[in-house]
Amino acid sequence: MHRPDPETTEAVMKPIRPLLPNERMLTVAGERSGYVYCDVAEVEGGVLLQFINYNAEFHADLPEMEQQKADRTIPVRNLYAQFRPPNGRRLARLTLEAPGRDDRELAVRDNTFIIPEVMQYAAIIATVE
């Protein structure tokens, strides 16, 4: 996976840092969390958090058709996330949805929760108060 150069990142962040809030709205931590992209969108009655897992095993040395059979996504497990809804609101109820899995409720405490697993994609529908 591509890892951004710290100097390049700092050059981009320096001019926009004064525009950003003091506290991050979203933090995601845990083993291999750097491979997971998250998008946040406000929806009616709450927030939609979408997680895409880019942690994969590729076989570039194989012929194309064999690559397609051998390449696979490596699940990312036990992600610790904290989401601070805007305007001092708090998370009330979280529903985790993922392809091929039953929806499940996630426990939330102080706007912090654990995502047990992200295969390729997972979404959390969060109601806020």
Q: Where are the domains of the chain?
A: 24-128
Query: Residue 99: is its pLDDT beyond 60?
Result: yes
Burial of 21 (0-12, 13-18, 19+ CB in 10 A): exposed
Report the relative pairing of strands 91-97 and 121-128 from DSSP bridges: antiparallel
Beta-carbon contacts of residue 119 (< 8 Å; ≥ 6 apart): 53, 73, 75, 98, 99, 100
Helix (H) or strand (E) holding 76: strand 76-83
Using pLDDT thresholds of 50, 70 and 90, give the confidence band for residue 87: confident
Using pLDDT thresholds of 50, 70 and 90, give the confidence band for residue 3: low
Give the separation between CA 38 and CA 97, rounded to whole angstroms. Answer: 14
pTM of this prediction?
0.81
pLDDT of residue 2: 57
Residue positions counted in the chain: 129
pLDDT of residue 57: 82
Using pLDDT thresholds of 50, 70 and 90, give the confidence band for residue 112: very high
Q: What is the mean pLDDT of residues 88-103?
A: 95
Query: Residue 82: is its pLDDT beyond 80?
Result: yes
pLDDT of residue 101: 94
Using pLDDT thresholds of 50, 70 and 90, give the confidence band for residue 116: very high
Q: Right CATH number for 24-128 from 1.10.260.40, 2.60.40.1180, 3.20.20.70, 2.50.20.10?
A: 2.60.40.1180
Helix (H) or strand (E) holding 8: helix 6-16
